[in-house]
A and B are shown apart, each in its own frame.
Chain A
């Protein structure tokens, strides 16, 4: 890996300095909130004047926060299950199926990502009001499944492309049915991809703020909706505690996602030997 002699010096150093500065810019705001959340004072300060879990205690003691969190968790779990099942079916149809109007289906898949969430949010609000779905678990689950599906489908598609379709052919030609082939060959092979799809669908639903802002009602709201209201009202230290816990949750999700990816890499290894990049 000898680099040509011209490569180097000041330019390279500047470039790296800039890149690290950008990383600090990316991480710093959220990282600074964590120490502020353990400050005992009533207003946010940095550095914290001491260590106290007072604001965490207030969060857990507040019925509204806890209820909003549980509601978000419920919506998140249902959305994860829904998006994973529908996502797997759709991805299978796209890779192994014959679909008329494929271009339309593909446009529909990226639709919820490119259509601004504000547009979807008010549109859903309009229809949900008429159907009495605002503030209901069903309403949130349907909305969040739609928002999570693009990411779920793409994750599972990637898993399907990585896996050697010859294995399916082998099972089929040995007399296994399509369903048995899927259950015993395809599904175990793409399981890590499906698991990360579920994980990301959960976090998309759990963190979703814009649609939730509109389809919540007074007594049933998600955690992001509750946060939005509180931030607009007053930047209290309880919010710092909530923000810190949410950041930790994200770290947990990413670590798990990384673990699933490694599993996927190991499973795809034999296929990779067969000439893929």
Chain B
């Protein structure tokens, strides 16, 4: 972010005074404290200190097989989704990075459109497709792959499929941006010197695209861990992930301290990853305004 921008932007004279800077940033700070830090703090406070200081809620998260299973499933699905989006996203990003003009424009639109379409719309579309009498079942019976419609909804595969679809743009955009930054001369030089296509990719393109790959995997993995809408609707109670468990604890059990502990575990994990990989998170990629 800004700290790594060219120093020219920060030459004296262009600077606002410290007081003016503070005045500009105060509304942001106040809002974030009141609507972001305070609520999260209150929830964690519930999990640790209500009614008296205790770690019992956290012990319960890690102590009961039911909850361990949910967390294990959450981590597993998040890893699967990250792998699927990388496998599907990288080739698309690569072709995009070697295209220009109208072709690139249409491909970029095809990635941005789902990104900005409501998660509910996309989840609903998958529910329609995966129903017992939905298109996927019809197609599979039609080609004779299966004899009778099978249950697709409420399976782990369906959750991974729908979540990969929803999160794919978060993989494509950073990888595209990294690939786009590789000067065309580099792979060309490797090819001229006699490298095969495959070794050019492995020795030149892949290593240079790694920052984008890390960035995409991080975004997808983080978002997948806390995903609520898609797993709740497509996975149902059978495929419960941690977000659905939190929701259930809050809305049905009214067990705030335990919900707080679940959120605490999730937050600790997410924050550690974010701080470790902070420099890979570049939001401007997703609003399509990057030059």
Contact = CB atoms under 8 A, between A and B. Distances in A.
Contacts, number: 324
Contacts of B267: 115-116, 119
Nearest to A87: B28
A155 B287 contact: yes
Interface string A2-29: 0110110001000110110011011101
Contacts of B111: 23, 26
A242 B124 CA distance: 11
A115 B135 CA distance: 35
B2 A94 contact: yes
Most chain B C-beta atoms within 10 Å of own C-beta, residue among A117, A126, A145: A126
Interface string B114-152: 101111111111111101000100000000000000000
A246 B2 contact: no
Interface centre among A7, A116, A246 (most CB of B within 10 A): A116
B259 A231 contact: no
Given A22-B92, A243-B120, 19 more contacts: A3-B188, A6-B191, A33-B124, A33-B128, A98-B16, A98-B21, A99-B21, A106-B3, A116-B267, A118-B266, A120-B36, A123-B43, A154-B287, A157-B284, A158-B291, A203-B116, A207-B120, A235-B127, A247-B113
Interface of A: 3-4, 6-7, 11, 15-16, 18-19, 22-23, 25-27, 29-30, 32-33, 36, 44, 46, 85-86, 89-90, 92-100, 102-103, 105-108, 110-127, 142-143, 145-146, 149-151, 154-155, 157-159, 161-162, 165, 168-169, 172, 178, 193, 196-197, 200, 203, 207, 209-210, 213-214, 224, 227-228, 231-232, 235, 239-240, 243, 246-247, 250-251, 253-254, 257-258, 261, 264-265, 268, 277
15 contacts: A19-B95, A29-B125, A29-B165, A99-B25, A102-B3, A106-B278, A108-B32, A110-B274, A116-B226, A158-B291, A165-B8, A200-B287, A227-B124, A228-B120, A228-B229
